[in-house]
C-alpha cells in the first residue's frame, strides 16, 4: 500500500506581504513617519528608529497580530531596540570588511609586484604578470561571494536578535544557519519579495525624489512581514 506524501509546508503569502501595511487604519501616517526617519538615516540619526520599528513589526507578525504595524508612541524603546540591531549589523559588516581588507593586504602587495614585473615583458615577467592578474581576479571573486553570503545571512541574524531580544543571539551562527535551512523555501521567498519591493520603491524618484523615503521604509516592512511569517509558519525553527 502506497504511503501518502507528507503535507506541503505552508508558504508565505506573497500578495499579502505587499498589502498588509494598508490594512492598518493609520498606515499612511506610520509610513510617513518611517519615511522621515529613513531620510534622517543619511545622517545616521534615523537608522536605529528604522531598525527598531522593523524589529517590532517582525515580532508582531511572528506573534500572529492581525495589524502588526506598531505605533510610534515609544520612540525611546524603538531607538533602544534599533541600537541593538545596528550593533549586530556593524559587527558583521565591519568584521567582514576588515577580514577582506587583511586578505587584500596579505596578497595585494606581492600581486602588484608581480604585475610590475609582468609589465617589463622580459623573461618570466609575462608569467608573473599573468599570475598577478589571476590572483587579483580570485580576490575579487572571494569578495563578491562573501558579500552575497552576508546579504543572505544577515536578515536571519537580525531576526534572531529581534525575536530573542538579545544582542549576543545575533551571533549564534549555528542556530541562525539552522533556521535558514529549516525554512529554506520561505526564507528564499522572503529575500526575493524584499528585492522586488526594493526595486518598486525606486519609483519614488518620480515624486521629486521625496517619495523614495516612505517607499524605501515600506520595502523594509515588507521584509519584516515576510520574515515574521516565515517564523510564524514554523515557530519550532526559533526555539525559545
Lowest mean pLDDT among 2-6, 83-87, 234-238: 2-6
Instruction: Find the range with the poorest average confidence among 24-28, 87-91, 143-147.
Output: 143-147
Instruction: Specify if 217 maps to a domain.
Output: yes
Question: Residue 4: inside a domain, yes or no?
Answer: no
Residue carrying the nine cell digits 509558519: 233
Phi first, then psi: give them for residue 210, nearest 5 degrees: -70, -40
Mean pLDDT of 156-175: 95
Average pLDDT over residues 100-106: 76
Average pLDDT, the chain: 86
Dump pLDDT digits (tens) for 14-25.
999 999 999 999
Label residue 1 by pLDDT band (50, 70, 90). very low
Residue 13 has pLDDT above 60, yes or no: yes
Q: Is residue 211 part of a domain?
A: yes
Q: DSSP code of 10?
A: P
Indicate whether 69 belongs to any domain: no
Dihedral sign of CA atoms 175, 181, 184, 186 in order: negative
- Please tell me the predicted confidence (pLDDT) of residue 144: 85
Could you tell me which residues come within 8 angstroms of residue 66 by beta carbon, excluding any fewer than 6 positions away?
A: 23
In a domain? residue 32: yes
Return the SS3 of 93: helix
Say how many C-beta atoms besides its own lie within 10 A of residue 65's C-beta.
Answer: 14
Domain that holds residue 162: 14-63+75-233
Angle, vertex CA 181, rays to CA 176 and CA 182, nearest 5? 95
Among positive and negative, which fits the CA dihedral 30, 33, 39, 43?
negative
Based on DSSP, count helices (H) and strands (E) in the chain, helices before strands: 8, 0
pLDDT at residue 140, rounded to an integer: 78
Res 108: pLDDT: 64
Does 143 map to a domain?
yes
- In eight-state DSSP terms, residue 123 is T
Confidence band (pLDDT; 50, 70, 90) for 154? very high
CA dist., res. 86 & res. 39, Å (int): 17
Whether residue 70 is predicted with pLDDT greater than 90 in this model: the reply is yes
C-alpha cell at 100: 577582506
Number of domains in the chain: 1
- Is residue 239 in a domain? no
210 within some domain:
yes
Looking at 55-59, 111-115, 185-189, which range is the least confident one?
Answer: 111-115
Question: Is residue 206 helix, strand or coil?
Answer: helix
Amino acid at each position: 500500500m502506497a504511503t501518502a506524501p507528507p503535507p506541503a509546508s505552508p508558504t508565505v503569502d506573497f500578495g499579502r506581504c505587499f498589502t498588509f501595511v494598508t490594512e492598518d487604519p493609520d498606515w499612511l501616517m506610520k509610513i510617513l513617519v518611517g519615511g522621515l526617519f529613513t531620510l534622517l538615516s543619511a545622517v545616521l540619526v534615523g537608522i536605529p528608529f528604522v531598525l527598531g520599528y522593523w524589529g517590532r513589526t517582525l515580532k508582531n507578525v511572528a506573534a500572529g497580530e492581525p495589524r502588526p504595524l506598531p505605533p510610534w508612541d515609544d520612540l525611546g524603546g524603538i531607538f533602544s531596540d534599533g541600537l541593538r540591531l545596528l550593533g549586530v549589523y556593524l559587527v558583521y559588516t565591519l568584521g567582514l570588511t576588515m577580514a577582506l581588507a587583511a586578505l587584500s593586504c596579505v596578497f595585494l602587495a606581492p600581486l602588484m609586484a608581480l604585475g610590475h614585473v609582468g609589465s617589463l615583458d622580459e623573461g618570466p615577467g609575462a608569467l608573473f604578470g599573468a599570475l598577478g592578474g589571476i590572483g587579483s581576479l580570485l580576490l575579487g571573486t572571494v569578495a563578491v561571494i562573501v558579500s552575497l553570503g552576508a546579504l543572505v545571512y544577515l536578515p536571519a541574524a537580525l531576526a534572531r536578535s529581534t525575536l530573542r531580544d538579545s544582542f549576543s543571539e545575533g551571533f549564534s551562527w549555528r542556530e541562525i544557519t539552522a533556521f535558514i535551512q529549516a525554512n529554506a523555501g520561505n526564507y528564499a521567498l522572503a529575500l526575493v519579495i524584499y528585492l522586488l519591493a526594493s526595486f518598486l520603491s525606486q519609483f519614488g524618484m518620480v515624486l521629486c525624489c521625496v517619495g523614495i523615503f516612505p517607499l524605501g521604509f515600506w520595502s523594509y516592512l515588507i521584509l519584516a512581514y515576510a520574515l515574521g511569517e516565515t517564523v510564524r509558519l514554523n515557530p519550532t525553527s526559533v526555539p525559545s
